[in-house]
Amino acid sequence: MKHDTTKNNTQIFVLPAQVPLLSRAGWAVFLFALLVVGVLAPVLNLLVPEGHVLHLSDYAVGLIGKIMCYAICALAIDLIWGYSGILSLGHGLFFALGGYVMGMYLMRQIGVDGNYKSELPDFMVFLDWKELPWHWSLSDSFAATLLLVVLVPGFVAFVFGYFAFRSQIKGVYFSIITQALTFAALLLFFRNETGFGGNNGFTDFKRILDLPIATTSMRMTLFVLTGTILLAFYVGARWLVRSKFGRILQAIRDAESRVTFCGYNPLPYKLTIWTISAVMCGIAGALYVPQVGIINPSEMSTANSIEMAIWAAVGGRATLIGPIVGAFIVNGAKSWLTVAFPEFWLYVLGAMFIVVTLYMPAGVVGLVRKGLAKFGKGGAA
Amino acid sequence: MCVSLTSLISRLLAAALLTFTGTAQALTAADALLLATGDSDERIALMSQLSAGDDAQAHALIRALGEDRVRIQEEMVLIANDEQAVDAVSGAPVRLTDMAEDASVNNRLRGAIEVALAGVDVLRGTPDQQLAAARILQRGAFDDPQLSQLPLLQRALAQPKLSDETQQLLLLASAAVALQSDDVAVRLDAARKLGEAKRAVVRPLLLQAQASELDEGVQKTLKASLAAVDRALLFSNVLAQLFTGVSLGSILLLAALGLAITYGLMGVINMAHGELIMIGAYATWLVHVAFRQWLPDFFDLYLWVAMPVAFLTSALVGVLMERCVIRFLYGRPLETLLATWGISLVLMQTVRTLFGAQNVGVENPGWMSGSVLLMGNLSLPWNRILIVIFTIAVLLGVALLISKTRLGLFVRGVTQNRPIAACMGVNTARVDTYAFALGSGVAGLAGCALSQIGNVGPDLGQNYIVDSFMVVVLGGVGQLAGTVYAALGLGVLNKFIEGWAGAVLAKIAVLIFIIIFIQKRPQGIFAMKGRSAQS
């Protein structure tokens, strides 16, 4: 190969022209989405009076805000699964880690307003602890919390990923091991003595940054923040997958041995995308907790992690818009069905897993694209 | 003269008293009244006297006192029997009037009555009553050793036809009581005997005696006995842990064996495996209900019907899964994982809809309950032992099927090289279905076994799915032997860590151990060699 890349032959090896970050229409949609999230939603929620047709209810704000957190997770899953071929059943762990870091900060913000009027969080008083355990020492600082939201999931993912990818654990093996890791963490967080509130987790938050947390305006602030971060992650992910790094990732996904023979070591690529993906999930968790008002170990359950995969699969893997769409479809259906027909929800979810894997490998986005292509062809003929 | 007269009188009195407290004592009206109404100390003292005697009427009165059937009416002590009553002394029937009062029995007295009756039963009862009485006496002697019990215990021990266990218990009791003796030789002997018993119960007694013992020789014997008991306890503890480990291992093995076939041999990752186990358990439950309903006389035999039913039900569900979903996904393991997870959700919800979200109760057949007592300290529940045996049987069956039959040959062939097997004329699609049915059926058998030791509910399978995958991953894909070693190893390891770190930490430690182990040997304990390892 070396000898081919002389001046004369460079032409042959020029990569195909890069697709732009977003097409013109894409940018338009992106800006529109940003406007909706950043301006329209707050206006409809805060300024339009209740009872008006266009009023956006607090419930809807809460729901959409929550789903946007899920969409970030779906995006993270897509980066690691859709673009790198690594199916993680452990992203619930990173989500929960981010959530727990934020939860610890929120617990400290309660201050002496808890049930026991103590400086310590209620569950510690209940367990008769006299002082904060060591891992709570940074929890009173918001800046440190923001840093830890990134660092904790990132560190766990890095260490685990390093060992897993180094010993060439792939495919289903990797999935099962991530599942085991999450399961172990679940058991650990369930324990009272690990200092994470046991099976009740953290709840009853009162303030964030000394501002009351359960107000309409705070909810809207978190909503706008989540939406903006989701859009930013989308563009960031888009930039990532069309960079050289992203191309190598996709090459690893399609034929890892060949990439290795070409002289690339897959380890740093996989490890980087794995860690990035975990950090994204952690941030989603940190945004999720103040909006939902509770974090407990059930977020780490096996079912939750696998559900993340189905969000990406329903929307369409290896398309970045797909997972976001998928997260909205699945969770929208969930929040409707669990209220309207609670006993049917698991049938529907189960059917989604089966139907999507059997008949819709490209997800909803794939179907739409196919439909558009057909329509386009039909129009041309 | 005067002195000699008084001494004579006192001697006569003493002689009279001796006969009075001796074996021939009969129940007098005064004694009966004292027994029914006296203060606790008097009553207890009298009771131990009476129970040591031979008078059946006295025994009957004590028994009636224990059963709250004693009434006092006009200074007469009556034993009430529904509406009728008899005089406790004469046995003559007496009409109960409204004046009759109940004889009160407090807890202390009740305990004394129990011991007194045990003293009676151990000498006169049937072998079963003797055993029960010996248990009570032993417990009493250990909780509150009274030297006064010693003659009774020795008399009981002197009886010719005692069962082994009764004798053991009585020996223990008499040794425990003898520790209170003033005679150094008796104490020495008791300390030695307690040491020989090597049971957990004697430990606190020995410690107590050690604290109060002044004689050096006895002290030494006590120490030696204590050491002997501790050694025996340690040994039986290790054995007990080993057994629970093997028991857990065999459960893991049962749960993982089906997976070892579907995942290990066929490479199909079946997240619904746990639900196939659950279906097997529910099938067992249905058979159990059916027997209860229509064949209550043959209830103890229901498991023999439940086993094939569980196998076939799970196998059938497995075939449906394979035919309808999984066969379209061969070679796409991640998609298979997700699709089978979806199936597992549907199966769980179906069971919930059909049988409710609550756990259902599966009763063990009679022959499975109870336990075996080994070496005095180690009690092994029968159902656990039977599950170990059952696991071995299933394992042998599967191993023979895979290694000796034509189907097994085909399965191995398809596993090693699908295209070549197809070229040789093997109908690979059919082999896939059969193998999947087999794996699913074994899961059903696992469910049948698990229903005997735990709760049966829609979530049953979820508890085993992570564990069974760990077993298969650790054991190495494509190897039944690896699965066996991994399951037993994990079971024993888990139980030993549990011994000093608690159940949850043990589980975490084991999971972390597996994750680290996979680093070193990504292919499991037994890596596949040769060409098939590459794929």
Q: How do residues B106-116 score in pLDDT, each as one tens digit?
A: 777 777 787 77
Using alpha carbons, select from A287, A308, A295 the residue that is nearest to residue A223.
Answer: A287
CB-based contact (8 Å) between B356 and chain A?
no
Would an 8 Å CB–CB cutoff place A374 in contact with chain B? no
Rounded distance, CA B510 to CA B495, Å? 10
Residue A74 contacts B where some CB pair is shorter than 8 Å: no
Chain A residues near residue B333 by CB distance under 8 angstroms: 171-172
On whether the CB atoms of residues B503 and B289 are closer than 8 A, the answer is no
Helix or strand (DSSP H, E) at B255: helix B216-259
* SS3 of B268-316: CCCCCHHHHHHHHHHHHHHHHHHHHHHCHHHHHHHHHHHHHHHHHHHHH
Q: Find where tokens 């190598």 sit.
A: A248
pLDDT for res B532: 47
Which of A311, A358, A359 to mutate against chain B (most B CBs within 10 Å)?
A358
Closest residue in B to A81 (Cα–Cα): B334
Q: What's the pLDDT at B1?
A: 44
Q: Do A180 and B337 touch (CB under 8 A)?
A: no
Q: Do A353 and B512 touch (CB under 8 A)?
A: no
Provide the 10 A C-beta neighbour count for residue B106.
Answer: 10
Closest CA to B254 of B413, B378, B392: B392
Specify the pLDDT at position A11. Answer: 54
Tell me the C-alpha to C-alpha distance, in Å, between residue B394 and each of A127, B254, B439, B442, B445. 47, 8, 12, 8, 8
Residue type, B499: G
Cα–Cα distance for residue pair A276/A154, rounded to 1 Å: 7
Which of A106-110, A133-137, B69-73, B144-148 shows the lowest mean pLDDT across its residues?
B144-148
Contacts of A184 in chain B (CB under 8 A): 507-508, 511-512
Contact A350 B328 (CB under 8 A): no
* Residue whose C-alpha is closest to residue A308's, from B466, B341, B346, B332: B341
Torsional sign, CA A305, A308, A313, A319: negative
Q: What is the DSSP secondary-structure string of A21-72?
A: SS-HHHHHHHHHHHHIIIIIHHIIIIISPTTSTT---HHHHHHHHHHHHHHH
Which burial class, exposed, middle or buried, applies to B323 when counting CB atoms under 10 A from its CB (0-12, 13-18, 19+)?
Answer: middle
Is the CB of residue B417 less than 8 Å from the CB of residue B532?
A: yes
Residue B371: strand pairing partners: B381
pLDDT at A323 over 90: yes
Backbone phi, psi, residue B272, to 5°? -90, 10
| Structure tokens, B182 | 């003033």
Give the start-to-end residue ranges of the domains of chain B: 18-105, 109-214, 239-365+378-464
Of the CA atoms within 13 Å of residue B496, those in its CB half-sphere come to 12
Task: State whether residue B533 sits within 8 Å of chain A by CB.
Answer: no
Q: Do B466 and A183 touch (CB under 8 A)?
A: yes
Whether the per-residue pLDDT at A204 is higher than 90: the answer is no
Q: Among residues 422-451 of chain B, which lie with CB inside 8 Å of chain A?
A: none
Local confidence band at A347 (pLDDT 50, 70, 90 cut-offs): very high
Structure tokens that stand for B512 in this block: 């972390």
The predicted pLDDT at position B528 comes to: 55
Mean pLDDT, residues A343-369 taken together: 90
> pLDDT of A232-251, one tens digit each?
999 999 999 989 999 999 99
Q: Does B348 touch chain A (CB under 8 A)?
A: yes
Mutation target to probe the A interface, by most A beta carbons within 10 A, among B326, B332, B349 is B349
Q: Among residues A75, A74, A94, which one has the least CA distance to residue A151?
A: A94
Cβ contact, residue pair B325, A358, below 8 Å: yes
- Angle CA A74–A217–A327, to nearest 5: 15
Among the residue ranges A52-66, A235-249, B2-16, the one predicted with the least confidence is: B2-16
- Residue B4: the pLDDT is 54
- Number of A–B residue contacts, CB under 8 Å: 113
Whether pLDDT at B362 is above 90: no
Predicted-complex ipTM score: 0.87
Long-range contacts of B185-191 (CB under 8 A, 24+ apart): B187/B213, B187/B215, B187/B218, B188/B215, B188/B217, B188/B218, B188/B221, B191/B218, B191/B221, B191/B222, B191/B225
Pairing, β A211-212 against β A207-208:
antiparallel
Q: Two tokens at A298? A: 């059930």
Q: Is B222 strand, coil or helix?
A: helix
Q: Which residues of A touch B335 (CB under 8 A)?
A: 357, 361
- The beta-carbon neighbor of B473 closest among A176, A347, A349 is A176
Measured CA to CA, the distance from residue B150 to residue A361 in angstroms comes to 84
Structure tokens given for B354: 């059909």
| Pairwise CA distance, residues B217 & A228, whole Å | 85
Q: Please indicate if any CB of chain A lies within 8 Å of the CB of B504.
A: yes
B378 forms beta bridges with B374
Closest partner CB to B514 (pick from A168, A180, A361):
A180
Residue B323 at interface with chain A, using a CB cutoff of 8 Å: no
Any chain B CB within 8 A of the CB of A171?
A: yes
Which residues neighbour B521 within 8 Å (Cβ) at sequence distance 6 or greater?
B527
Q: Is B488 on the interface with A (CB under 8 A)?
A: no
pLDDT digits (tens, 9 = 90+) for B33-88: 877 777 777 887 787 777 777 777 778 788 888 777 888 877 778 887 776 777 77
In terms of Cβ atoms closer than 10 Å to its own Cβ (0-12, 13-18, 19+), residue B4 is exposed
Mean pLDDT for chain B overall: 80
Of A179, A347, A357, the CB nearest to B339: A357
Give contacts of A343 with chain B, Cβ < 8 Å.
Answer: 349, 352-353
CB contact under 8 A, B343 and A357: no
B523 CB neighbours in chain A (<8 A) are: none
pLDDT at A42 over 80: yes
Contact B412, B434 (CB under 8 A): no
Q: Which among B342, B465, B466 has CB closest to A354?
A: B342
| Contact call for A343 and B349, based on CB within 8 A | yes
> Tokens 């430690």 identify what position?
B509
pLDDT confidence band for B376 (50 / 70 / 90): low
Nearest CA in chain A to B267: A172
Residue A4 clears pLDDT 70, i.e. is over it: no
Tokens standing for residue B302: 């229901």
Burial degree of B241 (CB within 10 A; 0-12, 13-18, 19+): middle
Contacts of B469 in chain A (CB under 8 A): 176, 179-180
Alpha carbon of B254 to those of A316, B465, B510: distances in Å? 38, 12, 19
Element (H, E) at B374: strand B371-374
Residue located via tokens 């999230």: A37
* E strand or H helix that includes residue B378: strand B378-381
Q: Which of A167, A346, A348, A359 to mutate to test the interface with B (most CBs of B within 10 A)?
A: A346
Chain A: give the shortest CA distance to residue B472, in Å.
10
Which among A66-80, B25-39, B128-142, B240-254 has the top mean pLDDT? A66-80
**In this structure, what are the phi and psi dihedrals at residue B98, rounded to the nearest 5 degrees?**
-70, -15
Q: How far apart are CA A115 and CA A119, in angstroms?
A: 11
Distance CA B330, CA B132 (A): 64
Instruction: Give the pLDDT score at B280.
Output: 94
Burial (Cβ within 10 Å: 0-12, 13-18, ≥19) of residue B522: middle
> Is a pLDDT exceeding 80 seen at residue B476?
no
Dist. CA B516–CA B525, nearest whole Å: 13
DSSP A19: P
Q: Are B446 and B254 in contact (CB under 8 A)?
A: yes
A183 touches chain B (CB under 8 A): yes
Q: Which two tokens stand for residue A267?
A: 């380890």
Phi, psi of A121 (to 5 degrees): -55, 150
Q: Is B465 on the interface with A (CB under 8 A)?
A: yes
SS3 per-residue string spanning B68-86? CCEEEECCEEEEEECCEEE
Asked if A175 reaches chain B (Cβ–Cβ under 8 Å), the answer is: yes
B511 touches chain A (CB under 8 A): yes
The CA R_g of chain A, rounded to the nearest whole Å, is: 23
Between helix B480-501 and helix B216-259 the angle, nearest 10°, is: 140
CB pair distance less than 8 Å for B511 and A173: no
Mean of pLDDT over chain A: 88
Task: Choose from A346-360, B195-209, B409-423 the range with maximum mean pLDDT.
Answer: A346-360
Looking at the complex, does the CB of residue B519 fall below 8 Å from at least one CB of chain A? yes
Query: Which residue in the set B346, B353, B515 is minimally distant from A180, CB to CB?
Result: B515
